[in-house]
């Protein structure tokens, strides 16, 4: 009888419109006469959601029945962006829905714009997690993502008088059609309290943690549709609630008033995403977020495992957990605690399960980004976990001692406990010790971690524990969705959309690199995308870009000294000074250019905020200088986010990926720009190296010092002093001469380069950067050659699909198979 009532998915205009109307009138309780665009967006989304949930249920049933090993991707950030357009594309219902809403008097593009971004991440790491869940679903892997349902995502950036101002991102203002509240799932999570040490009848020591404060984790599920498959995986995000029942016997903290208040403030745990990128803030609430999310996720996974009535020895045949950076490292300790304290397994057996379960992905070598927690904080917040960390460290150091007797230096270097004032727990070391594989995110980066920050661990564990999985991006969002015209042009030559699931098929485009009709169409798509960006810039900044033929030179990413937006803006100033010096006749030889910036600074990062202000001040001067005219425009696009990136990436002629060599682990926006037919100016850093290998060095503008020389150069700055090149001195003089507002304001920025060691080598790379920019200008003048480079780049960017990355994780780290193999 159930079958008879099975929910029907919409599969025609009629059935779509039927469902749409029903959702307007019942779900939204509106009449069709007062259905505005927001309501139409919601009704459309509810209708898609019905289809997704139907397939989501089937997927989960199928995966449960097959009962094979599952992957769990633990990430504190999932920078998903908008869901509607992506769902339409992945389920291949976009045309049908466009026509249907058209019938109903709406424009699909407009409805899509109504959706707020799900901006639950900072930048690269969070967006990588989003691309990965897309690829896991598309590749039909049995996989769940686990994260936090922040009520406030990354702040919205306003630019006021050229300064960044942060405003809260309350993205859940309206009902969110893309989440399913699982109010029946309520997992208690404890903090604080004390540890009881007892012995059982056989004299074996037992430890029991009595928590002092309890909050409830409740689940929200976000269906993740794969492309061209019925497979819909789950992204489970946790939200914190206060408990209602209360065990006074356990309430032993001695500070009743404060504890009750803390309890009432349970929701604060999942209230807001920490807005730091590549910087460790060390705040107690952040550690609470980490434990809350990890404990809830493990509880969930273990509950699922226990249903299968398997012995613990089979846990690692069923479960693989990937740690996205060190943020979930406490999971290693929590699983060990569950197995030993609660399930009664012997330490060694438990530890072998733990290490075979986890894999750890490192995303940075920057020392200021490596997470450390004061021992004292752990002692208070998670007292039993601290004991377990001490034991893990003890056993680890004992084996190291056996392997390398009497090397006290080594022991103190690799100890999980840093003997500093205050003593700190090194989370990366704990992650390495507790995982069976450690991977970097691009070849250069994976080599660097083996030879620098983790080199002692290579000595201890051997090199095979360390591996590389080069990042990737999903071609569904970053080609098909962001650049529908290019996708259509590509499809017309490749004969099908199969390249969206096997991106290496793009290779065939090489055949058309000299085909004049194709070249013309290719260039036209770029021009159209630039026009689309011109519209966005006008709406957001009121700046007019008079010349759509100008070279669009774009750098959008988090603002950070290591990413060197300052190098870019100094280059812009240099260009400006050249134009000013030139005679009207000479000015004609300059290629017109638009320099576009975008990105958020961490709210407390003073130097980064100063860079934003400098960019805006330079824009103000240049854009209003009649000597310059159309030759140069400078734009700072406010509030850079995923949905803006979808408009920006397809519109670049050139994009900048110019981090100091050895500092950018991979970068992924470089991949987005290349896949959309933009060329790159970049340093020999992160994934730029592999992009060069794939597309050919004649198709990329590389410059700057190499990573192997960076330390030496810094050392030389420190002990021999250094001189900035004349060209850069001139730029700095112009700033100091108040050409871009009050020069005094930028003193810190200038001094860090001139007098404080120039840690990021701006001076050392400046001339080489200018030369590369000259080559760009030269090359851009030859449109045919430029377009050819663009086509060849796209043809050879297939390697940078996140599908390839996920397949590598599945085979090399997780030992998990796709559901249909």
Does 662 contact ligand 26M by CB under 6 A? no
Piece of the chain touching ligand 26M by CB under 6 A; list 272-280, 337-345, 502-510, 756-764: 272-280
Which entry of 557, 644, 789, 804 is annotated as an active-site residue?
557
27 in catalytic set: no
- Applying CB under 6 A, which of residues 483, 668, 688, 796 lies at the interface with ligand 26M? 668
Does 363 contact ligand 26M by CB under 6 A? yes
Provide the minimum distance between the beta carbon of 546 and ligand 26M in the complex, in angstroms, as a whole number: 35
Provide the minimum distance between the beta carbon of 285 and ligand 26M in the complex, in angstroms, as a whole number: 10
CA 728, 730, 735, 739: dihedral to nearest 10 degrees?
-140
Does 667 contact ligand 26M by CB under 6 A? yes
Q: How far apart are CA 305 and CA 605, in angstroms?
A: 44
Contact 691/670 with Cβ under 8 angstroms? yes
Does 682 contact ligand 26M by CB under 6 A? no
Judged by CB, which is closer to ligand 26M: 282, or 546? 282
Query: How far is CA 777 from its chain centroid?
Result: 32
Judged by CB, which is closer to ligand 26M: 23, or 363? 363
Judged by CB, which is closer to ligand 26M: 471, or 707? 471
Does 281 contact ligand 26M by CB under 6 A? yes
Provide the minimum distance between the beta carbon of 355 and ligand 26M in the complex, in angstroms, as a whole number: 23
What's the Cα-to-Cα distance from 37 to each of 17, 32, 34, 100, 111, rounded to whole Å?
15, 11, 10, 14, 6
Residues 6+ apart with CB under 8 A from 659: 562, 563, 564, 667, 683, 685, 686
Piece of the chain touching ligand 26M by CB under 6 A; list 25-33, 299-307, 349-357, 662-670: 662-670
- Applying CB under 6 A, which of residues 280, 341, 387, 646 lies at the interface with ligand 26M? 280
Q: Say whether 146 sits in a helix, a strand or coil.
A: strand
Does 656 contact ligand 26M by CB under 6 A? no
Listed in sequence order, the DSSP H helices in 404-515 are 408-414, 427-433, 443-451, 455-461, 475, 484-494
Does 135 contact ligand 26M by CB under 6 A? no
Token code pair at residue 327:
């943020």
Residues between 466 and 495 with contacts to ligand 26M, criterion CB under 6 A: 471
Does 601 contact ligand 26M by CB under 6 A? no
Judged by CB, which is closer to ligand 26M: 27, or 164? 164
Contact 368/760 with Cβ under 8 angstroms? no
Judged by CB, which is closer to ligand 26M: 371, or 758? 371
Which entry of 563, 564, 739, 804 is annotated as an active-site residue?
563
Provide the minimum distance between the beta carbon of 451 and ligand 26M in the complex, in angstroms, as a whole number: 18
Residues between 393 and 422 with contacts to ligand 26M, criterion CB under 6 A: none
Number of residues that this document lists for the chain: 821
Provide the minimum distance between the beta carbon of 135 and ligand 26M in the complex, in angstroms, as a whole number: 14
Does 223 contact ligand 26M by CB under 6 A? no
Provide the minimum distance between the beta carbon of 369 and ligand 26M in the complex, in angstroms, as a whole number: 6
Other Cβ atoms closer than 10 A to 783:
12
Cis peptide before 422 (omega within 30 of 0): yes
Does 372 contact ligand 26M by CB under 6 A? no
Pairing between strand 551-556 and 593-598?
parallel
Other Cβ atoms closer than 10 A to 544:
11
Residues 6+ apart with CB under 8 A from 476: 86, 89, 90, 134, 138, 227, 500
Smallest CA-to-CA distance from 667 within 693, 646, 687 is with 687
Query: How many angstroms separate the first and last alpha carbons of the chain?
Result: 33
Contact 796/461 with Cβ under 8 angstroms? no
Judged by CB, which is closer to ligand 26M: 125, or 425? 125
Residues between 232 and 271 with contacts to ligand 26M, criterion CB under 6 A: none
Contact 224/477 with Cβ under 8 angstroms? no
Contact 745/613 with Cβ under 8 angstroms? yes
The DSSP-derived string for 84-121 is HHHHHHHTT-HHHHHHHHHHTT--HHHHHHTSPPEEES
Judged by CB, which is closer to ligand 26M: 470, or 617? 470
Does 379 contact ligand 26M by CB under 6 A? no
Residue 393 belongs to what H/E stretch?
helix 383-403
563 in catalytic set: yes
Q: How far apart are CA 743 and CA 131, in angstroms?
A: 42
CB closest to ligand 26M, residue no: 124
Does 664 contact ligand 26M by CB under 6 A? yes
Which entry of 49, 82, 149, 363 is annotated as an active-site residue?
363
Judged by CB, which is closer to ligand 26M: 86, or 668? 668
Which entry of 329, 470, 668, 683 is annotated as an active-site residue?
668
Q: How far apart are CA 631 and CA 590, in angstroms?
A: 7
Piece of the chain touching ligand 26M by CB under 6 A; list 225-233, 274-282, 748-756, 786-794: 274-282
- Applying CB under 6 A, which of residues 392, 665, 700, 761 lies at the interface with ligand 26M? 665
Does 561 contact ligand 26M by CB under 6 A? no
Does 93 contact ligand 26M by CB under 6 A? no
Contact 704/658 with Cβ under 8 angstroms? yes
672 in catalytic set: yes
Judged by CB, which is closer to ligand 26M: 211, or 275? 275
Angle between helices 747-754 and 606-623 (to 10 degrees): 110
Does 802 contact ligand 26M by CB under 6 A? no
- Applying CB under 6 A, which of residues 277, 553, 656, 803 lies at the interface with ligand 26M? 277
Smallest CA-to-CA distance from 373 within 310, 329, 308 is with 329
Site size with ligand 26M, rule: CB under 6 A: 24
Contact 468/426 with Cβ under 8 angstroms? no
Q: How far apart are CA 93 and CA 436, in angstroms?
A: 42
Contact 753/763 with Cβ under 8 angstroms? yes
- Applying CB under 6 A, which of residues 369, 569, 635, 680 lies at the interface with ligand 26M? 369
- Applying CB under 6 A, which of residues 56, 150, 274, 478 lies at the interface with ligand 26M? 274
The DSSP-derived string for 533-546 is HHHHHHHHH-----
Residues between 435 and 464 with contacts to ligand 26M, criterion CB under 6 A: 441
Token code pair at residue 214:
């309890």
Cα-Cα-Cα-Cα dihedral sign, residues 546, 549, 553, 558:
positive
Does 229 contact ligand 26M by CB under 6 A? no
Which entry of 558, 574, 657, 789 is annotated as an active-site residue?
558
Cα-Cα-Cα-Cα dihedral sign, residues 557, 563, 566, 569:
negative
Residues between 742 and 761 with contacts to ligand 26M, criterion CB under 6 A: none
Does 180 contact ligand 26M by CB under 6 A? no
Token code pair at residue 558:
């988090």
236 in catalytic set: no
363 in catalytic set: yes
Does 276 contact ligand 26M by CB under 6 A? yes
Which entry of 70, 437, 450, 672 is annotated as an active-site residue?
672
Does 559 contact ligand 26M by CB under 6 A? no
Contact 300/394 with Cβ under 8 angstroms? no
Provide the minimum distance between the beta carbon of 561 and ligand 26M in the complex, in angstroms, as a whole number: 13
Provide the minimum distance between the beta carbon of 443 and ligand 26M in the complex, in angstroms, as a whole number: 13
Q: How far apart are CA 109 and CA 676, in angstroms?
A: 20
Does 159 contact ligand 26M by CB under 6 A? no
668 in catalytic set: yes
Judged by CB, which is closer to ligand 26M: 383, or 667? 667
Q: Say whether 291 sits in a helix, a strand or coil.
A: helix
Residues between 111 and 130 with contacts to ligand 26M, criterion CB under 6 A: 122-125, 128
Judged by CB, which is closer to ligand 26M: 631, or 665? 665
Residues that bind ligand 26M (CB under 6 A): 122-125, 128, 274, 276-278, 280-281, 286, 363-364, 369, 371, 441, 471, 664-668, 686
Give me the active site residues, please.
363, 557-558, 563, 668, 672
């Amino acid at each position: 009888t159930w079958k008879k009532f099975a929910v029907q998915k919409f599969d025609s205009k009629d059935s779509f419109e039927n469902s749409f109307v029903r959702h307007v009138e019942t779900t939204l309780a509106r009449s069709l006469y007062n259905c505005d665009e927001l309501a139409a967006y919601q009704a459309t989304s509810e209708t898609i959601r019905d289809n997704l949930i139907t397939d989501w249920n089937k997927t989960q049933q199928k995966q449960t029945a097959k009962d094979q090993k599952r992957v769990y991707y633990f990430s504190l950030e999932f920078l998903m962006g908008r869901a509607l357009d992506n769902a339409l594309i992945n389920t291949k219902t976009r045309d049908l829905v466009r026509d249907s809403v058209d019938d109903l008097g709406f424009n699909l593009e407009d409805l899509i714009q109504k959706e707020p971004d799900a901006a639950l991440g900072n930048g690269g790491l969070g967006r990588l997690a989003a691309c990965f869940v897309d690829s896991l679903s598309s590749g039909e892997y049995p996989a769940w993502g686990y994260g936090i349902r922040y009520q406030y995502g990354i702040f919205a950036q306003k630019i006021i008088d050229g300064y960044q101002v942060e405003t809260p991102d309350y993205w859940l203002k309206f009902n969110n059609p893309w989440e399913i509240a699982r109010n029946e799932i309520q997992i208690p999570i404890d903090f604080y309290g004390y540890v009881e040490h007892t012995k059982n009848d056989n004299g074996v020591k037992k430890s029991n943690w009595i928590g002092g404060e309890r909050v409830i984790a409740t689940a929200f599920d976000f269906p993740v549709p794969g492309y061209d498959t019925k497979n819909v995986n789950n992204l489970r995000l946790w939200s914190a609630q206060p408990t209602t029942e209360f065990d006074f016997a356990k309430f032993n903290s001695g500070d009743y008033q404060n504890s009750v208040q803390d309890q009432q403030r349970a929701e604060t745990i999942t209230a807001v995403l920490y807005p730091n990128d590549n910087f460790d803030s060390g705040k107690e609430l952040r550690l609470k977020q980490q434990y809350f999310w990890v404990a809830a996720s493990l509880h969930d996974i273990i509950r699922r495992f226990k249903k299968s009535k398997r012995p613990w020895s089979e846990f690692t045949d069923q479960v693989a957990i990937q740690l996205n950076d060190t943020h979930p490292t406490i999971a290693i300790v929590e699983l060990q605690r569950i197995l030993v304290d609660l399930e009664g397994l012997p330490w060694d057996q438990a530890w072998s399960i733990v290490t075979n379960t986890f894999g750890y992905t490192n995303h940075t070598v920057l020392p200021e980004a490596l997470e450390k927690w004061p021992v004292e904080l752990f002692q208070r917040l998670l007292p039993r976990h601290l004991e377990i960390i001490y034991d893990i460290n003890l056993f680890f150091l004992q084996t190291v001692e056996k392997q390398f007797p009497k090397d006290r230096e080594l022991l103190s270097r690799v100890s999980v406990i840093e003997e500093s004032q205050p003593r700190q727990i090194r989370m990366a070391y704990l992650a390495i010790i507790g995982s069976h594989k450690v991977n970097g995110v691009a070849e250069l980066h994976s080599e660097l971690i083996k030879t620098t920050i983790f080199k002692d661990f290579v000595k201890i564990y051997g090199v095979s524990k360390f591996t590389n999985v080069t990042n990737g991006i999903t071609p569904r969002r970053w080609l098909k969705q962001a650049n529908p015209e290019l996708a259509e042009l590509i499809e017309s030559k490749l004969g099908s959309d199969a390249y969206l699931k096997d991106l290496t098929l793009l290779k065939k485009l090489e055949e058309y690199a000299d085909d004049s009709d194709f070249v013309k169409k290719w260039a036209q798509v770029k021009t159209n995308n630039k026009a689309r960006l011109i519209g966005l810039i006008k709406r957001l900044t009121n700046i007019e870009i008079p010349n759509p033929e100008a070279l669009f030179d774009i750098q959008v990413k988090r603002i950070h000294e290591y990413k060197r937006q300052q190098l870019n803006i100094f280059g812009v100033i240099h260009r400006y000074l050249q134009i000013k010096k030139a005679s009207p006749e000479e000015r004609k030889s300059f290629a017109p250019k638009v320099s576009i910036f975008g990105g958020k600074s961490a709210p407390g990062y003073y130097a980064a905020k100063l860079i934003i202000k400098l960019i805006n001040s330079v824009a103000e001067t240049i854009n209003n200088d009649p000597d310059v005219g159309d030759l140069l425009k400078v734009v700072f696009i406010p509030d850079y986010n995923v949905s803006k990136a979808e408009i920006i990436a397809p519109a670049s002629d050139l994009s900048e990926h110019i981090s100091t060599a050895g500092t950018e682990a991979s970068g992924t926006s470089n991949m987005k720009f290349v896949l959309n037919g933009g060329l790159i100016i970049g340093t020999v850093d992160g994934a730029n190296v592999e992009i060069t290998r794939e597309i050919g060095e004649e198709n990329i503008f590389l410059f700057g010092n190499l990573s192997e020389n960076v330390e030496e150069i810094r050392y030389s700055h420190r002990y021999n002093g250094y001189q900035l090149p004349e060209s850069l001195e001139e730029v700095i003089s112009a700033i100091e001469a108040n050409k871009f507002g009050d020069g005094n304001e930028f003193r810190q920025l200038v001094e860090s380069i001139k007098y404080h060691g120039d840690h990021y080598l701006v001076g050392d790379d400046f001339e080489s950067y200018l030369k590369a920019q000259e080559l760009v200008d030269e090359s851009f003048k030859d449109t045919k050659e430029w377009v050819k480079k663009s086509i060849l780049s796209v043809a050879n960017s297939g390697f940078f699909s996140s599908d390839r990355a996920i397949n590598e994780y599945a085979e090399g780290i997780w030992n998990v198979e796709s559901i249909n193999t």
